[in-house]
Structure 1
Amino acid sequence: MKKLSLEHIGEAVQEQTYAALYLFTPLCGTCLVAGKMVDVTEKLFPQVTFIKADLNYIPTMADKYSVESVPCMLLFHQGRLINKIYAFQSVPYLHEELNHLIRADSI
């Protein structure tokens, strides 16, 4: 998973067909567990660009996308926000959410 600065996040989200932006803070215990689930899920979706960012350093991103808490994963299709995930229930759940993102594009 790529860790990018604010300037590069916007570019990456706009340039990729599918992007998943994982937002965390380093002192969040739940974020550590969610991050491991995202790492596993990333291996299952090579067509999705996974990006991670410490929300402490990009508060404007939190405002722009109305991020309410961490961990949070923002799912994008062609630069457009499609879904926000706050409850990282399991790897199968994340797998299903990413499948929805990709299937919606093929319909």
Structure 2
Amino acid sequence: MTADQGMNEQEQQQKQQRQQQESSEPGNLPSSSFVSCSQAELLEALDSGLVASSWDGIYIYSPMCGTCKLAEQMLTIVAAAMSELRLAKLNVQSAREAAERLRIQSVPCLLLWSREAEQVVQESDIQYVYAFHSVTYLYERLKGGRADD
């Protein structure tokens, strides 16, 4: 028996109302802007050079990082404006091997590569964004696919 099955009709309606209210409040943006990415998928894409065919960028975060939560909200706003954007989200705590291989210095981190590039991306082609500045800054970086700081 699930928790929803154990609720009476009134409790279920109240739960749905709370969920609708929470999702409509500012700051509660959907995480559906991000596609899934596991450490194994990332490492396989790096080994094959096909990281660009899977994602336009990878957002690396820690769930305990307050700045990461703000950065994720900023990226969600950008992703809403760029419907074709494929951003992956990867928890650094469950991807230590990938973080070491990519030499991630801190979180939040956004990995980018040229979106006009051929399908094969070498690790040396990856750009690292550590300072997220503003939504406009991120939009411009993602629009161009480069992180020229």
TM-score after normalising by structure 2: 0.60
CA RMSD across the alignment: 2.0
Larger CA deviation: 84-93 vs 5-14: 5-14
Partner of 1:95: 139
Partner of 1:64: 101
Q: 2:35, 2:144 → 1: CA distance? A: 23
Aligned residues: 101
Q: 2:144, 2:35 → 1: CA distance? A: 23
Q: 1:59, 1:23 → 2: CA distance? A: 11
Match of 2:82 among 39, 45, 48: 45
Matching residue's letter, 2:139: H
Larger radius of gyration: 2
Q: 2:36, 2:108 → 1: CA distance? A: 15
Partner of 1:7: 40
Higher relative contact order (CA 8 A, sep 6+): 1
Q: 8 Å contact 1:24–1:31 — kept in the other structure?
A: yes
Matching residue's letter, 1:88: F
Q: 8 Å contact 1:13–1:76 — kept in the other structure?
A: no
Richer in strand (by share): 1
Taking only the aligned residue pairs, the percentage that are identical comes to 29
Structure 1, unmatched stretches of 5+, are 103-107
